[in-house]
Amino acid sequence: MIKNPSPNALVVEGGAMRGIFASGVLDAFIEHDYRPFDFAIGVSAGATNLLAYLASQHGRSHDIMTKLARSPRFMDPLRFAKGGNLVDIHWLWRTSCRQYPLDLHTLRASAIPFYAVVTNTLTGGAQYIRVKPENMHEVLPASCAIPLVSRDYPQVAGIPMTDGGVADSIPVIEAYRRGARQITVILSEPLGYRLKPMPFPWMIRTLLKARPALAKALARRDRRYNEALDFIANPPDDCQIAVIAPADYFPVSRFTRNLSKLEVGYLMGKCAGYQVVRLN
């Protein structure tokens, strides 16, 4: 139970490789032991970034993105053309855990409860699952499994799940619902960005005809995303929201593998994180 009369939450958006920005912000927080949060919610790459932050493992997310996520073992268009996954989330998770082991002692000792967002493929709804060392091997790959790009659906407690960004890309409203009245949001897109409706919805319905609730969730993703942006821009009177977002010239896209661009994106995140620390 949150006892702080004005709970402070940290919300971290995903965005695949654009998550390199949040990794820089959170590494800046680690360097200054900046942890004023009562709980945290992350989505997809935002959730894995939070995992490193709460384990106090500076540089872990950066190394995973700049080394492992650039490997053809992770992203392979030819494999996708032959009927496999464009991205192999399970390989990336297993390899990152082996090459960059998590500090489970520090993670367990963290005073900040951490929730990852997943999308239930049977209902199309968002689920917010408390992440612990005991369940992270199920929950984190599920939160990152982009539908269609990843053809399989990782199971959490026996339920097929997919990327939390489908149902709730920026869970700021959920943070407010859970009692947060001070919210820091790390975005992966510049301020002013609006998500456009998905093109060719009929094609999505066809490709996901076995999972109609998921197809419907994808079709309304832009509305849910933009509702979160509207909430951030005009929060309730009893809520203060601080936004950390990349500049318009942020050079990283969802599937960027160019190392120089990724390093620039990471440094932009660190600079933004340092600015937050200085102001607080």
Q: Does residue 154 sit in helix, strand or coil? A: coil
pLDDT the model gives residue 2: 46
pLDDT the model gives residue 5: 64
Structure confidence at residue 1 as a pLDDT band (50, 70, 90): very low
Tell me the catalytic residues: 44, 163
The pLDDT tens digits for 218-250 are 999 999 999 999 999 999 999 999 999 999 999
The pLDDT tens digits for 10-28 are 999 999 999 999 999 999 9
Residue 201 has pLDDT above 90, yes or no: no
The pLDDT tens digits for 86-118 are 889 999 999 999 999 999 999 999 999 999 999
What is the residue extent of each domain of the chain?
A: 8-279
- CA-closest candidate to residue 21, choices 280, 263, 260: 263
Average confidence score pLDDT of the chain: 94
pTM attached to this predicted model:
0.94
pLDDT the model gives residue 148: 84
Beta-sheet pairing, 114-120 with 159-163: antiparallel
- Is it true that domain 8-279 has CATH number 3.40.1090.10? yes
